[in-house]
Amino acid sequence: MKRRNLLAGLAGAMVAGCSKVAETEPMASLLHRAEDWHRKAHRALASNTALAPEFSPQDISPYFRGNGTLNPATPAYEAAAANNFADWRLEVRGLVNNPLSLSLDDIRALPQRTQITRHDCVEGWSAIGKWTGPQLGILLDQAYLSDEARYIIFRCADKLGGSDYYESVDLVDAYHPQTIIAHMLNDAPLPIANGAPLRMRIERQLGYKHAKYLTAIEAVAELGAVEGGKGGYWEDRANYAWYAGI
């Protein structure tokens, strides 16, 4: 039942997104093709929605440590933080028919999912936290992925050791119901150490997949042409697995 409701929710969001954008004729026909593709994608992916365990409020860790970058500390990020991230934009671009540029208010106005999950870092620590934000699938539906899109790249505001942090997932994980763009941790805006103002939660995979300081979501056909070609910062450098299933 839970899964059915989630899929119904996604379908509803898709229709809502469509009626907003499909106001002109050429756009409408373009969107109908995309919509057709989406319906097929939803069906194909529906069998891949096994959920990661979710916990109760009393399981939440008293302190959710930060790891990797704890503050991007660039002039642009410092200015954004000083302004409470009021001008932060999240772009949805690449192989999409309707690129988006969303404010935090836009993101907070979407249907929200809250989940209490355990974060597992390869370095040997775990923490349980409560995350809130819209499902990535809702944004991808509003952006109308093109037929060639196979992977979603997450761009971040920080550099680690001089290179941009980035990550990626395939469409199965992109459309997984627990894959959300979190703007809250434990009912409060994300702390800077944990990725303010936006970070990914990809609950069936290890911590390094959960890109923090999210600036853009990019649909691509292949991973080979992106950065080091292996789909993520640590995948490019330390041979970490691209699919980091828990």
Ligand X SMILES: Nc1nc2c(c(=O)[nH]1)N[C@H]1C(S)=C(S)[C@@H](COP(=O)(O)O)O[C@H]1N2
By CB under 5 A, name the binding residues for Mo ion.
Answer: 121, 207-208
Select 24 or 126, whichever has its Cβ closest to ligand X: 126
The residue among 154 and 208 lying less far from Mo ion, judged by its C-beta, is 208
17 binds, among Mo ion, ligand X, none (CB under 5 to 8 A by kind): none
Query: Between 68 and 94, whose beta carbon lies closer to ligand X?
Result: 68
Least spacing, CB of residue 122 vs Mo ion, in Å: 5
**Which residues lie near ligand X (CB under 6 A)?**
65-69, 121, 156, 158, 160, 165, 193-195, 207-208, 210-213
CA distance readout (Å), 20 to 12, 115, 142? 13, 29, 9
**CB under 5 to 8 A by kind: which of ligand X, Mo ion, none does 211 bind?**
ligand X
User: Could you tell me the smallest distance in angstroms from the CB atom of residue 171 to ligand X?
Assistant: 21
At closest approach, how far in Å is the CB of 148 from ligand X? 27
To the nearest whole angstrom, how small is the minimum distance from the Cβ of residue 12 to ligand X? 31
Query: At closest approach, how far in Å is the CB of 158 from Mo ion?
Result: 14
Q: Considering Cα of 57, then 59, then 60, then 63, what sign does the dihedral take?
A: positive
In contact, 94 and 218? CB cutoff 8 Å: yes
Whichever of 75 and 161 has its CB closer to ligand X, that residue is 161
